[in-house]
Structure 1
């Protein structure tokens, strides 16, 4: 894609807005639907949570396919089909009457549609839109998405309380369809011819997923990325409960949780600046250092549980939610080439699934057995240390 700087940054902002409306609804605003769905279907919150968990599984499984299709055919058809599938899924969700229908609507339609329309394909657009400042472009994309997602939660909550959860699903399906002209008009129809990577690696820019999976460096990055995402997910799910267990009122705990999301925005922007300016060989060590900092922050609560160490965990999670993804995506573009970027990212998202599904369960089981979260936080800290070691072993190689 040969784009003017103004058009390139416009695409970056647009992808962030789209992700906020699509992925933000599925990942964050769905919390406003959990209780009313359980009451309406006369089932437990565990059943609704299971449907959400199955949706994460479906997203991870489909992500490599989405990535490969994006690399082969371009982002526009993939994003458009994903948005249509998301809207169909939301309409179906609004009409379900059983747990089986809930599982099918959420995991097979909404979650797969969101994975196709609002994640990997849009990241691929950003990598090609501003090739000389990819780090900052990704940082702005994720920051815009975070702002939109944060504003989305109270809006969806008001809709649910005013018109009910079923009608809210119909309204959001209409909003997603109303946004459909954006990718159809703004994204190129052709398969994107990639820019040369600014600092190219000697690995040829060809081949598919089997070639990627055959490289040890991919597995080092995949393990680090999975471990870091698992820890952030596991702690985020239980963070409010952890804080209220240690004496904080629920409104204050929720406010601190929201501050964590906002903290990730300046962290992303700073990480984008550093990633653009630093030599590519420094990035694995930079990320390893961040993971070690997160590990030390989380371990501080395991050793000395207090209000102060709870705040330290919040800061660590804000950093963990903001910086690592940008560094990993830049490394992937450098190591594997832009023409395989979406394939690699989709594969990474697939390998995240065991961690992001298992970590919240592990933390919950540890609490049920031991009565607190100290053991879980200690385990998460140890996991991050292993992730830091794995990332430190990554060698991007010298530019050709």
Structure 2
């Protein structure tokens, strides 16, 4: 009996899943849990949200350079450095005593580490290993984003209640290094060509036809758009604008979901579970939209995703969110729709510009998206502080 060897690209997907889960779970979902105790220490949600915005802006600045490094060196060295930087940043957060120190810690080690183990290197890696199956591969890898919310939001709440927010940050910093470094060191590779493979697990060219592999990579080189050219194309701006606006809304909704529910009388542990349930639906959304991207026009899939998110926000705004059935409808609708964002963005960038310069192009697009987030998140916090 013979067994077909598993294509190494799926190991890349697994590593990306873990990195997405750790990065987004701790930087995004767990931040919502830390927001209330941090606001109590550092003078209000608006000020603390400003610190978060400074981290986002720093991530955007780092992304431009890191994207180029990923294209040249691969994701492996970048993610090793990122895990160390993020773990160090969390250990330092456990010791901050002033608002400027909070800003600096988030903007330097935390932002750098987050950028290095986040979507940019992982999506670039998956895009290099998959072409025909890219939607499904990105669906599985970006499902880690939602899985991180399922795991780390309740975990952060548990740790804060047991040991306080400072020791919680220290323990989570050690968790970063323990979860990210082993799989990156063991499995992450730059390109299928390093192992004599082709994208999607296609069989390598036979010895009688060695030119087939060369022809494939020549076609890929011709199809891939250089970053300097990409920023002058309409597709670049038609992708950056809608995803920037969508991410601004998504970040604000999820970051303030727990404070909103707590303000309306929901216990903290239950509010964290609701956020985890929203993230769980995001897993379903990522897998669902990933499959749709490989079968249907990606533009139509993106339009459907954006419309469903808008409907979810409308339900959150108009409905009595303390009502069990309406809250469940919001979790299902918004969770599923917002789950498709990361998969859509990664797939559309690869589809529009090719895989060879993915990192540099995504890195140049990131500041535009992050600026929108950086404006939307603190603005929501200040409005909340003013209106009560």
Shorter-normalised TM range: 0.7 to 0.9
- Aligned partner of 1:348 among 360, 365, 385: 365
Normalising by structure 2, report the TM-score.
0.79
Q: Call closer, same or farther: CA 1:190–1:257 in 2, change over 3 Å.
A: closer
Partner of 2:207: none
* Partners of 2:14 and 2:141 within 8 A in 1: yes
* Partners of 1:240 and 1:250 within 8 A in 2: no
Counterpart Cα distance in 2 of 1:290 and 1:189: 31
CA distances 1:27-65 after superposition (whole Å, capped 9, x unpaired): 1223444444455x5644443332222111211222222
Partner of 2:186: 185
Partner of 2:247: 229
Query: In terms of mean alpha carbon deviation, does 252-261 or 180-189 score higher?
Result: 252-261
Query: In terms of mean alpha carbon deviation, does 333-342 or 247-256 score higher?
Result: 247-256
Normalising by structure 1, report the TM-score.
0.77
RMSD over aligned Cα atoms: 3.6
* Partners of 2:53 and 2:375 within 8 A in 1: no
Unpaired segments of 5 or more residues in structure 1?
A: 373-400
Partner of 1:379: none
Correspondence 1:52 to 2:52: yes
Partner of 2:291: 273
Matches within 5 A, 1:25-174: 25-37=26-38, 43-174=43-174
Q: Call closer, same or farther: CA 1:340–1:32 in 2, change over 3 Å.
A: same
Higher RCO, 1 vs 2 (CA within 8 Å, ≥6 residues apart): 2
- Aligned partner of 1:324 among 338, 341, 344: 341
* Partners of 1:233 and 1:360 within 8 A in 2: yes
Partner of 2:25: 24
Shift of 1:299: 4.7
Query: In terms of mean alpha carbon deviation, does 85-94 or 164-173 score higher?
Result: 164-173
Q: Call closer, same or farther: CA 1:242–1:105 in 2, change over 3 Å.
A: closer
Counterpart Cα distance in 2 of 1:327 and 1:42: 37
Unpaired segments of 5 or more residues in structure 2?
A: 203-215
CA distances 1:346-386 after superposition (whole Å, capped 9, x unpaired): 233221123222224444566678x69xxxxxxxxxxxxxx
Counterpart Cα distance in 1 of 2:312 and 2:48: 32
In structure 2, the residue corresponding to 1:277 is in which secondary structure?
coil
Shift of 1:271: 1.0
Counterpart Cα distance in 2 of 1:206 and 1:267: 28
In structure 2, the residue corresponding to 1:151 is in which secondary structure?
helix
Correspondence 1:334 to 2:351: yes
Q: Call closer, same or farther: CA 1:240–1:167 in 2, change over 3 Å.
A: closer
Counterpart Cα distance in 2 of 1:360 and 1:79: 27
Partner of 1:395: none
Equivalent residue pairs, number: 364
Counterpart Cα distance in 2 of 1:312 and 1:128: 37
Partner of 1:291: 306
Correspondence 1:11 to 2:30: no
In structure 2, the residue corresponding to 1:323 is in which secondary structure?
helix
